[in-house]
Structure 1
Amino acid sequence: MHEPEEFRYDLMVDQALRGVVKQILTRVAKEGLFGEHHYYVTFQTNHPGVELPDAQRKAHPDNITVVVQHRFWDMKVTDEYFSVGMSFDGMPTVVVVPFDAMLAFVDPSANFMLTFSVEEEMDDDDFEDDDEEPAKLTADPASRSKPAAESGEGGEVIALDAFRKK
């Protein structure tokens, strides 16, 4: 008779919380954003299955934060990943993010934040990289003909510390 394996409660909870993000993004894909809701999604750029423009991957070799707010299109959600059309420096592209690559999901309008483990155990220090500025990506179908750079809208850096429970 062999010793039963211990439950990995941490992994079970992590997967359940990724399911919450899938539910949220599935609703956004079908219905669009509602109210003041918008989302910051931080993910590993070097994770298998991530599709991101090479320039962004070079500028952010470890992780990047994208913003789903004003300008995005063609969001698709599967069991394994989500994809969304966004603009980088005025150039439209499709970003593909496996749910297993996510490090954080934030809805600042609801003061809601989830953080995730990716392969190795992560702690709060993994999200505090003051030397690297996250990219802000937003896009919507109406703005495809008017890139953010031409519209006068600039990106902004968002400190996720404000959403962390102390």
Structure 2
Amino acid sequence: MTKDHIGYNKIVNKSMFLVIEEALLFVKKNSGFPGDHHFYITFDTKFDGVDLSLNLLQKFPEEMTIVLQHQFSELDVKSNMFAVTLHFENNPERIVVPYKAIRKFFDPSVNFGLDLNTGNYEQTIPSKNNTIKVNHETQDPHQPNILNGNETNSGQVISLNQFKKDLKK
């Protein structure tokens, strides 16, 4: 196979962070989520630039999943990171997450997710008569995997454990 001189994987990776940024900006601009939209965001707690309280870092030394839905405040969205205040055991905690620390991003209301923790980028491209599945193998473990949404979870409540199992498939 010919070497990729254009750098498609880098372009795709940059685009996936832009998707997350745009989704968060939409929520900030509209002062919350429309309809049933909400986000599960899993990130590496040891990544450079992640800012967590010592209490949260002790509870989540490697990875943490937060849910942005109803009870969050002070959402701040920048080009390279976001910050939000969430409550843990009735205590407000400010969390700062660079986009590059994100491992998974999922909106179960529309069954859309990005897995930035794998070495695969996968998408489903609809055509007139069928669906074409494109799988791009990458060497960078921080390259995204677009979850194709073929699972039948519409209208169901998804538990965090099920969410994690589905992402591992």
TM-score, with structure 2 as normaliser: 0.69
Q: Map 1:1-166 onto structure 2 (within 5 A).
A: 6-31=5-30, 32-117=32-117, 121=141, 157-161=160-164, 163-164=166-167
Q: Which amino acid aligns with 2:93?
A: T
| Structure-2 separation of matches of 1:49 and 1:122 | 16
Closer/same/farther in 2, CA of residues 122 and 16 from structure 1, 3 Å limit: closer
Identity %: 32
Secondary structure of 1:109's counterpart equals coil
1:6-50 CA-partner distances (Å, limit 9, x unpaired): 333222211101101100100101101110000000000001111
Poorly superposed stretches of 4+, deviation over 3 Å: 161-166
| Structure-2 separation of matches of 1:34 and 1:26 | 13
| Structure-2 separation of matches of 1:44 and 1:76 | 19
Normalized per residue, which structure has more helix?
A: 1
| Structure-1 separation of matches of 2:165 and 2:70 | 22
1:42-67 CA-partner distances (Å, limit 9, x unpaired): 00000111111212212211110000
TM-score, with structure 1 as normaliser: 0.70
Q: Does the aligned pair in 2 maintain the 1:50–1:96 contact within 8 Å?
A: yes
**Structure 1 residue ranges without an equivalent (≥5):** 124-155
**How many angstroms does 1:163 deviate by?**
4.7
**How many angstroms does 1:160 deviate by?**
2.0
Secondary structure of 2:103's counterpart equals strand
Question: May I ask how many residue pairs the two structures share in their alignment?
Answer: 132
**How many angstroms does 1:159 deviate by?**
2.5
Q: Does the aligned pair in 1 maintain the 2:51–2:96 contact within 8 Å?
A: yes
Closer/same/farther in 2, CA of residues 163 and 29 from structure 1, 3 Å limit: farther
Q: Which amino acid aligns with 1:58?
A: Q
* Alignment correspondent of 2:131: none
**Structure 2 residue ranges without an equivalent (≥5):** 119-139, 144-158
Give the CA RMSD over aligned residues.
Answer: 2.7
